[in-house]
Structure 1
């Protein structure tokens, strides 16, 4: 983790529905102290006031494209070169967990998807729905008349309908991994996220966990 690294902070209040997500940037790193800009709420887009003792899950993407995570808390509020910063505790390398793409939770769910060319136009823009989605990619239905080769780059908009009736829109650049041809239905194309912001990836991960909880509740009710 370097100075200038974009990070995501998550805090949980009383239950999973109260997860709050913030974005910030590392401005300095000294010993076990991490100095960051005051975080911005992903929900309101405004700078948030955070008090000492607040606990967070700290996440960032390393140069190896792997997500790293550890637990931290605010130990001070200071000014660094006249810039207000939060000081977070770094628990040590042995407390940092790796979250590799293949370990992302994948959820089967139909989402509204819009697909366009990324660069050279080789197919007309189209709308479709997803087969499944995770923090590392998604699978979508593609009409048989829409053709593009493997490894093509696509510009993809994803609509995430959160439980609170709030809709979040995520834009990614995705790489075509493979196409599964179907006889009587649209083909299924697997996509891997190639360019995605930390904030948008966190939205997708949070959505997947929320959907998993909803699906478990439905299953449990059916067994009662």
Structure 2
């Protein structure tokens, strides 16, 4: 099944890793012809800037169909169309080449929690503050003096406060999937869980639901 006009595409340029965190850009399908999709210029999901694509550039893409199914395919840029807005023409994939993966929805909320981080290589440690947390991953702010690399494995502990006053320590092993430099000289470290016990994940999910309810009450 192909995506339709107005469906959103999530795009990674010239790569084959299907981790969601690497699909940095998104675009809407504006037109469809026999051989191609015509899409709007892709936009960064984190920085909000437009991504210039080039003829022949290879793309990995997924779109979400009914039931939360993620549909992945690879394609390439076949041309451009100048209209009111410039559009990018990408080749339709062979229908048999589209792979389907059940989507796992994990709530993610903004949260400033204390996180202890240990490098798995030399066991050095530091403490930071989270930017957001969720059932699938966490991000935190750090300074230049804590060198980290994408792909690095870290052991972490988060102190989680609940509405009733209880505190929980949640431990997990995570992988750095992206590092974003901030204007103030700090870095935003984005991670996904590599190893986390179900009961530990549930503690974080419980916290996220409490925060979501709190945000709704404040709105």
TM-score, length-scaled by structure 2: 0.52
| Structure 1 residues 52-76: Cα deviation after superposition (integer angstroms, max 9, x where no partner) | xxxxxxxxxxxxxxxxxxxxxxxxx
Aligned to 1:193: 193
Aligned-pair CA distance for 1:149: 1.6
Choose from 107, 110, 113 the match for 2:112.
110
Alpha-carbon separation, structure 1, partners of 2:137 and 2:102: 14
Alpha-carbon separation, structure 2, partners of 1:136 and 1:175: 11
Alpha-carbon separation, structure 2, partners of 1:183 and 1:215: 27
Alpha-carbon separation, structure 2, partners of 1:185 and 1:166: 35
Provide the secondary structure at the position in 2 that maps to 1:128.
strand
Alpha-carbon separation, structure 1, partners of 2:134 and 2:217: 20
Aligned to 2:211: 211
Aligned-pair CA distance for 1:159: 0.8
Aligned to 1:62: none
Q: Which moved more, 1:184-193 or 1:163-172?
A: 184-193
| Structure 1 residues 90-119: Cα deviation after superposition (integer angstroms, max 9, x where no partner) | xxxxxxxx9844x2111001011100112x
The answer for unaligned runs of 5 or more in structure 1 is: 1-97, 220-224
Provide the secondary structure at the position in 1 that maps to 2:154.
strand
Aligned-pair CA distance for 1:142: 1.3
| Structure 1 residues 104-148: Cα deviation after superposition (integer angstroms, max 9, x where no partner) | 111001011100112x217x4111110001100011001112112
Alpha-carbon separation, structure 1, partners of 2:150 and 2:183: 20
Provide the secondary structure at the position in 1 that maps to 2:165.
coil
Q: 1:104 to 1:187 in 2, by over 3 A?
A: same
1:63-102 alignment runs, 5 A limit: 100-101=103-104
Aligned-pair CA distance for 1:185: 4.2
Q: Which runs of structure 1 show a deviation greater than 3 angstroms over 4 or more consecutive aligned residues?
A: 98-101
Aligned to 2:160: 160
Count of residue pairs the alignment pairs up: 119
Alpha-carbon separation, structure 2, partners of 1:216 and 1:112: 24
Alpha-carbon separation, structure 1, partners of 2:208 and 2:156: 18
The answer for unaligned runs of 5 or more in structure 2 is: 1-100
Alpha-carbon separation, structure 2, partners of 1:195 and 1:173: 5
Alpha-carbon separation, structure 2, partners of 1:99 and 1:204: 22
Alpha-carbon separation, structure 2, partners of 1:166 and 1:193: 24
1:2-151 alignment runs, 5 A limit: 100-101=103-104, 103-118=105-120, 120-121=121-122, 124-151=124-151
